[in-house]
Amino acid sequence: MKDIQLEERVVSDHKNKITARGVQVHYGTTHALKDVDVDILDHTVTAFIGPSGCGKSTFLRCLNRMNDTVASARIAGEILLDGENIYDRSVDPVQLRAKVGMVFQKPNPFPKSIYDNVAYGPKIHGLSTSKAELDGIVESCLRKAALWNEVKDRLASPGTGLSGGQQQRLCIARAIATSPEVLLMDEPCSALDPIATAQVEELIDELRSQFSVVIVTHSMQQAARVSQRTAFFHLGNLVEYGETGQIFTSPKDPRTESYISGRIG
Binding residues for ligand ATP, per CB under 6 A? 27, 30, 32, 50, 52-58, 70, 72
CA–CA separation, 45 vs 228, rounded Å? 6
Q: CB of 176: closest distance to ligand ATP in angstroms?
A: 23
We find the least distance from the C-beta atom of residue 62 to ligand ATP, in angstroms, to be: 10
Instruction: Specify the residue, 56 or 144, whose C-beta has the smaller distance to ligand ATP.
Output: 56
Contact 107/191 with Cβ under 8 angstroms? yes
Residues in the chain: 265
CB of 113 to ligand ATP, least distance (A): 31
Instruction: Name which of 68 and 82 has its Cβ closer to ligand ATP.
Output: 68
Task: Indicate the pairing of strand 182-186 with strand 212-216.
Answer: parallel
- Provide DSSP, the chain: -TTS-GGG-----PPEEEEEEEEEEEETTEEEEEEEEEEEETT-EEEEE-STTSSHHHHHHHTTTGGGG-TTEEEEEEEEETTEETTSTT--HHHHHHHEEEE-SS----SSBHHHHHHHHHHHTT--SSHHHHHHHHHHHHHHTT-HHHHTT-TTSBGGGS-HHHHHHHHHHHHHTT--SEEEEESTTTTS-HHHHHHHHHHHHHHTTTSEEEEE-S-HHHHHHH-SEEEEEETTEEEEEEEHHHHHHS-SSHHHHHHHTTS--
Output 57 or 178, the one with its CB closest to ligand ATP. 57
Residue number, 50 or 109, with CB nearest to ligand ATP? 50
CB of residue 107 to ligand ATP, shortest distance in Å? 17
**Minimum distance from CB of 33 to ligand ATP (Å)?**
7
CB of 26 to ligand ATP, least distance (A): 9
Of 68 and 243, nearer to ligand ATP (C-beta) is 68
Smaller CB separation from ligand ATP, 71 or 195: 71
Closer residue to ligand ATP (CB): 27 or 87: 27
Give least dist CB 127 to ligand ATP, A. Answer: 31
Q: Write down the least CB distance from residue 227 to ligand ATP, Å.
A: 16
Nearer residue to ligand ATP within complex by CB, 16 or 108: 108
